[in-house]
Structure formats: C-alpha cells, structure tokens
Structure 1
Amino acid sequence: MLPGYEFELCLTHDVDRPYKGIQAPYYALSDRNPRHLKGLLPGVNPWWQFEEIMELEDSLGVRSAFYFLQEESIFNKSPDEWLTPRYWIEHLGRYDLFDTDILDVLHELDDGGWEIGLHGSYDSYDDPDALREQKTALEAALGHTVRGGRQHHLNRGESTWNHHREIGLKYDATLGSSSECGFQHGYEVKRPFDDDFLVFPLTMMDIAVADPGTKFETAWDTCEQLLDEAAENDAVMTILWHPRMFADEFPGHRRLYRKLIEGALERGAWVGPPGDLCDRLSPLTTKPTGTANLHGP
C-alpha cells in the first residue's frame, strides 16, 4: 500500500489496567500459581510496563499506539446494573488520566514519538456523548488532539464508526476478534464512508495465539504465517499487545512481540502506529506522506 514497503504492520496497546490490585488473588487461584500475589506487595506493580515497551520498541527503531481508557464508575450506572460482575471488574480496574504517574507517562510517550489514542469505555460504543467526554478529557490531559483509537473489549455497534467520525476521530481499530487471528476482514484498511475516515481491522490479539510461555514455537508459527500472508498480499496488519502481557508473570509474550516486529522488518515492512499510517494514506487526493519507521527507506 505504501511505496517502498512489502506491507504495513501497525502496533497497538490497549491500556486497560496499568495497576495490578484486586485481580491478583483471582489470577493466583485460576492459574494455581502464587506468583500473581506479588502484585499485592507494597511498592510492587508488575503491570506497569511502559518503560519496558518503550525500550524494546526504541531498540528496534519503531513506535506504536497506546490507547488510554476512562472506564465509568459503576455508581454512574443504574442500580439494577450494580449486580453485574462485568461492571464491577471494570470499576475496580479504573484509573485516572490526571493522576501524576499517568500524566507523566502520557507525556513521555507523546514526547518520544509514540501515538496516544482513545480506548472507549465498555458501553461508550453506543454512547456518543460519553465518547466525546472521554476524548475531551484525554486531550486535556495530553495537551493536543488525538487521531483515533479502539473500543474496550472490541465492543461495536452499527453506529460506532459514525460516533467516532462525529467526535473528530480519524480512524478506528476495533473491528476484529479476541479469539481468532487472521485477515477475516480483508487485507486493506476500510473506508466505510468513502472519505478519509479509516478502519484498521485487527489481525491478532495477544490472547488469541498459543501461550508463548509454554508453546512458543506454536505461537511463533502463527505469527510467521500471518507475516508471510501480509507480505504476499501487500496487507495492512494490525496487532494488539496489552501492556500487562510484558510482565514476567506472562512469560514468552515479550520475546514473541519482539520477534514478530523483527520478522516484519526483515520482510521489508513499514512498522508503526495506525495514526502515522492514517496520515500517510489520507487524504484521498494526495500521495502517501509522512515519516517511516527508522528502519525504512
């Protein structure tokens, strides 16, 4: 799609829960592994992986997108929804964009060339007012506008793309699956309104591949097949790796992510965040513009 490249690989991270807290006992019981309880020790936060991701990507000369979430409080919902476990899970994992640590990492990422985007809250896919408020808050914390993002849990309705376009987003990266890998939605970005609003289909999520901690070669085989398919079809390939998956308690994910990027670069791919590729593909009346990843021509 871009001159001089075999295909494009877009790197994304959904910042769901940068702090590990109440989830620790759940994972310790479900995995029958007490290592997860380390997340409850004072001063320990294994899910804060921003610096590690920045260091990894910087060593490869690439950048990615981080989508920040502003989940609603369960107490803002109707009383009959207070008994829904899903909403309590989302409520207990909430974080504040204006906390000092979050503000600092937002600006560190932005200053370093990483993209900051919107991760719409669980129910906002069908609530344009909530989406607009969340976008406004994120932009206030960041200090400038954002170009796109993805809905939490890949939630999407018939009007979600309309809502995104109406609040000023330039692209959406929600279309896809959390359980299947592949190009089920084609090899190209989509233009649902025949204008400059783009949709980046999700090719692979971290939890959709075999556990690289126990079946690394199986997981890599899946990644390698997708990279080859992308190169053969001049595709736009988009992947999602949650920051917490880079923690030691999820062994193999950091190694697999690095190898996937290296494999793309070896195959002559452009690698970067969707927002950068969006800029290079839009508007329709111009040729691709912008800067490539540091390894590209």
Structure 2
Amino acid sequence: MAEFALCLTHDVDRPYKTYQAVYDAIRERDPGRLDALRLGNDPYWQFETLMGIEERFGVRSAFYFLSEPGLGEHHPSKWFRPRYWLEHLGRYDVEAPRMANVIDALDDGGWEVGLHGSYDTADDRERLRAEKERIEGVVGHPVRGGRQHFLRRGPDTWAHYRALGLEYDSSLGSSATYGFEHGYDLLHPFDDEFAVFPLTVMEVALVEGTESFDAAWRECERLLEEAAANDAVMTVLWHPRYVGPDFPGYRDLYERLVERALEMDAWVGSPGAYLDRVNGSSDDTTPGDATPELID
C-alpha cells in the first residue's frame, strides 16, 4: 500500500476566455489576441488536455464546477461592483449542452465531478444547496465534495457542507503560499466522517512564488519528498486553463508532478477516491482503469 497520497483537483472557474482577451490585446498592443473570442477557439477549454494527461498516467482527478447566479439574481447593491460584473462576464452554464457533455464524459471516464461553491455561498446554505442540486441534476447522482470559489470560507461553511450531505471540503489553503501549513493528514472538524483536505499547493502560488519553472519544479520535488517522509495527503489545484497555450510551462510542471509522484509509489487520485480507499470501500488499485471518451 502506498504510504502517501497525491490528490489531484481542478477548479473550473473560466472555461471560456472572454474579457481576458480584450485585456491581453490592450496590454500587449496586439489585436491578434482578440482571436481568442472567435467561435471554436477557446484557449481556456482544456478538459481534453487534462483528461489525456491523466489517462496516459492511469490516474484520475476531481473537477469542481461552478453554478454561479447571474447578475440579475444578486441584490441590486452588488450590481455596480466590478467583481460581480467580471464574474457575470465569465460565468458558464453547467446545463448547456457542451458543458453537460464534458461533465458526462468525466463522470463516465472515472473522474470525480464536484461542487465549486460560488463566492457568496460561504455563508448562504440555501444558495449552496441550489448550486449543488443543479450540478447533481447534470451528473445524475450526488456529488461528494468540492471547494469554495476563491477559497472563501465562513465560520459555518463546513457545517453547511456537512448538512447538505457533502463528505468533504478542500477550501482550507492559500492562493499566495504553499506547503503543509495545516498538517499532513485530513482534518475532521466535527469528529465524524466529514473530512477537510487541506490544499497543499495551487499552481499560481507555486510559480509566482519562485523565480523560474526550474525553481518551481524543485519545490514540487521538495513537497513530494516531505509528503513521503510524513505519510502525508498532498492536495494540489491546477485550474484547467493553466495547461493551455496562454500559460506555457504550467502543463509540463503538472505532468512532471504526477509522473514523479507515481515514481515514488504514491497513491494518486481524486479526494473522493481517497476517502473510499481509507474507509475501505474500494480496492487499492490505481484509480481510473476505464478509457475515457474524449470530447470534440
């Protein structure tokens, strides 16, 4: 049995590049950057890329999907706040055919589909419930856990998750720092089976916190070695858009991380599959033996 685990997660924030293309064109004085807005040219749409990488290594991960309210569903006091406009411009519909097909393909291929609670759900159980139920309506069965958008938690967020029947959360962490700041194992805030997977590293914190991709890779190796030395659960977050062409270097870093963990005999998979493993409800084989049907 593997002595440490690497849990792979992806927050599906912005699968389509929208206002970012305009920003890039202005910043770089390059009208060609607007090509990202052309129908069918989606540099942030990287589901097939991630599925292909993980299939090649014989592992599976968790994808957490947002089901954000539209601008009109917010209180009028929020209509003129820039953050809510940006959220609205970048939002997507999990029930739209293309997204629903992705969710079905992930689920059918052995990936975990989970909840990415929108910004205001940290202290709004009923809104969280509605978002959870909408995603479950697409995937066709209950989801098991997820992570809050922007890692935003309130004092009762975990209680909301638990009350809604979710088994775990992975919002405890930072977008600016990385490491085992919250220990080496799962946390159980209610002294029952509800689990918290502390976030060890987010890709942006890793890369922006080091001077080069070589330095970032050395930090990845160091974290893996620390995990192995402490029989740890190491949880990583790679947003899908970061394996695309707009972010050179990030894909290679992710591939090397997964490959090295397997070389070190780590168990590699999704948080839900890890819970099955420790609770004795699955065998100890490498997750994801089924071949996925990738999406056009």
CA contact (8 A) 1:213 1:253 kept: no
Q: Partner of 1:68 in structure 2?
A: 65
Alignment counterpart, residue 273 of structure 1, candidates 243, 253, 270: 270
Q: 1:94 aligned to 2:87?
A: no
Higher relative contact order (CA 8 A, sep 6+): 2
Q: Does 1:246 align with 2:239?
A: no
Percent of pairs identical after alignment? 54
Equivalents in 1 of 2:73, 2:179: separation in Å? 37
1:219 deviation in Å? Answer: 1.0
Residue of structure 1 in register with 2:294 after alignment: none
Alpha-carbon distance, 1:290 to partner: 3.5
- Residue 177 of structure 2 is matched in structure 1 by 180
Inter-CA distance 31–276: structure 2 relative to 1 (3 Å threshold):
farther
What TM-score, normalized by structure 2, do the two folds share?
Answer: 0.93
Residue 6 of structure 1, CA deviation:
2.6
Instruction: Give the 3 Å change call, closer, same or farther, for CA 190–34 of structure 1 in structure 2.
Output: farther
TM-score using structure 1 length? 0.92
Partner residue, 2:218: 221
- Where do 1:227-238 residues align within 5 Å? 227-238=224-235
List per-residue Cα deviations over 1:254-295 (Å, max 9, x = no partner). Answer: 10000001111111100000000112223xxxx574343259
Cα offset for 1:32? 6.2
Q: CA deviation at 1:37?
A: 2.6
Shift of 1:79: 1.8
Provide the residue aligned with 2:293 in structure 1.
none
Given residue 249 of structure 2, which amino acid in structure 1 is its aligned partner? G
Gaps of 5+ in 2: 290-296
The reply to whether residue 120 of structure 1 matches residue 113 of structure 2 is no
Once the 2 structures are TM-superposed, how far is the Cα of residue 31 of structure 1 from its aligned partner?
Answer: 5.9
- Aligned counterpart for 1:153 among listed residues 150, 155, 171: 150
Question: Counterpart of 1:210 in 2: which secondary structure?
Answer: helix
For 2:219 and 2:50, the matched residues in 1 are separated by 22
**Any conservation in 2 of the 1:13–1:67 contact (CA below 8 Å)?**
yes
Partner of 1:5: 2
Match of 1:257 in 2: 254
| Matches of 1:28 and 1:215, distance apart in 2 | 25
One of 276, 290, 297 as aligned partner of 2:283: 290
Over the residues paired in the alignment, what is the CA RMSD in angstroms?
2.0
Identify the residue that residue 137 of structure 1 maps to in structure 2. 134
Aligned to 1:102, what secondary structure does the other structure show? Answer: helix
Aligned residues: 289
Return the alpha-carbon distance in structure 2 between the equivalents of residues 71 and 117 of structure 1. 14
- Cα distance change on mapping 1:35 and 1:125 into 2, 3 Å: farther
How far did 1:25 drift? 1.3
SS state at 1:293 partner? coil
C-alpha distance after superposition, 1:51-86 (max 9, x if no partner) = 111011000010000000011112212222111111
> What is the SS of the residue equivalent to 2:184?
coil
